[in-house]
């Protein structure tokens, strides 16, 4: 069993002590742990020789990072222009209703997080959403429950 500390260290050890690697390091940590903990940010600050203030600024500036733990499955609803005019706000409403959480929140069981993202580049299939990197096009509000069921029952690996 690899401990949190060990997997954090293995990420940190991949990179040289160079402030330019701040984003890549944080991206790896986000991917591994689904969020950036206080401990991880402090370790990054030490490893790259950067003040914590600078690490924190970057960690909070970019949408790709989260300081709160995220769910196992991350649902990203596209709010690009094409999706907007083709009804993606309705998808978001439906998710909020089905999961009982607001945009940016995580379900209590830690299974799902809902995020609104700015254009997944699937405009021809609007409205679109992405779950764990898998894109769904032409999504209708009534299909949401079926799509989510897939992720509830198995650990989806695609």
Partner 1 sequence: MEEKDICTIKIDGKKISLAKGSTVLEGAKMLGIFIPTLCYHEALPPRGNCRLCIVEMSIVKRGRTYSWIDASCVYPVEDGLIVQTDTPKVRRERKLILELLLSRAPDSDVLNKLAVEYDADKNRFVSSDNGDSNCILCGLCVDVCNNLMHSSGIGTAFRGINKKVVSPFNITQEVCTGCLACISVCPTGAIKARFEGENLNIETWNVKLKMLKCHSCGKPFYPGVYVDMLKDKVTMAEELLKKCPECRRKVFRLSVK
Partner 2 sequence: MKTKIVTKEDLDILNNEGIHHIFPDKIKLSIQMGTCGKASGAERIYHIIKNKINTDILLTSTGCIGLCEKEPMVNVFVPGYYPVVYCDLDEEALEELLPAWIQGELPEKNCLMQLNRTTFNTNGPILKVKENIPQMEEVSFFKLQKKIALQNSGIIDPFSVEEYTGRGGYYSLYHVLKDLAPEKVIEIITDSGLRGRGGGGFLTGRKWQSCRNAPGEPKYVICNADEGDPGAYMDRTVIEGDPFRILEGMAIGAYGIGSPEGYIYVRTEYPLAVETLHKAIREAREYGLLGEHIFGTDFSFDINIRRGGGAFICGESTALMASIEGKVGEPRVKHIHTVVSGFREKPTTLNNVETWANIPAIISMGSEEFKKIGTKGSTGTKVFSVVGKIMNNGLVEIPMGITVKEIIFDIGGGIPFGKKFKAVQTGGPSGGCIPEKLLDMPVDFDELKKAGSMMGSGGMIIMDEDTCMVDVARYFVSFLVQESCGKCTSCREGTYQLFNILNRITEGQGKEEDITLLEELSETIIDTSLCALGKTAPNPVLSTLKYFRDEYDAHIKEKKCPARVCKALIEYRIIPEKCTACGKCRKACPYNAIAGEKKVPHQIIKDKCVKCGICFEICPFDAITKV
Site residues (vs partner 1, CB under 8 A): 38, 41-42, 51-57, 60-61
Rg (CA), the chain: 17
Give the position of tokens 């949190």: 4
Return the structure tokens found at 139: 């999504």
| Cis ω before 80 (30° cut-off from 0) | no
CB of 78 vs partner 1, minimal distance in Å: 20
DSSP element (H, E) containing 83: helix 81-85
Our finding on whether 86 is near partner 2 (CB under 8 A) is: yes
CB 122 within 8 A of CB 128: yes
**Does residue 47 sit in helix, strand or coil?**
helix
Our finding on whether 57 is near partner 2 (CB under 8 A) is: yes
Count the residues of the shown chain that bind partner 2, applying the rule CB under 8 A.
52
Our finding on whether 97 is near partner 2 (CB under 8 A) is: yes
CB of 22 vs partner 2, minimal distance in Å: 4
Residues found near partner 2 in the complex (CB under 8 A): 18-24, 26-27, 48, 50, 54, 57-58, 61-65, 76, 79-86, 90, 93, 97, 117-126, 128, 130, 133-138, 141-142, 158
């Amino acid at each position: 069993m690899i401990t949190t500390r060990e997997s954090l260290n293995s990420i940190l050890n991949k990179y040289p002590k160079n402030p330019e690697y701040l984003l890549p390091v944080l991206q790896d940590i986000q991917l591994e742990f689904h969020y950036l903990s206080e401990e991880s940010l402090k370790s990054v600050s030490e490893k790259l020789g950067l003040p914590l203030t600078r690490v924190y600024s970057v960690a909070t500036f970019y949408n790709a990072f989260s300081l709160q733990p995220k769910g196992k499955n991350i649902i990203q609803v596209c709010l690009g222009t094409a999706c907007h005019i083709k009804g993606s706000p309705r998808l978001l409403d439906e998710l909020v209703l089905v999961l009982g959480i607001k945009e940016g929140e995580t379900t209590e069981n830690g299974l799902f997080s809902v995020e609104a993202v700015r254009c997944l580049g699937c405009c021809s299939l609007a409205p679109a959403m992405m779950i764990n990197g898998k894109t769904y096009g032409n999504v209708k509000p009534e299909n949401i429950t079926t799509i989510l069921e897939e992720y509830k029952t198995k650990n989806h690996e695609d």
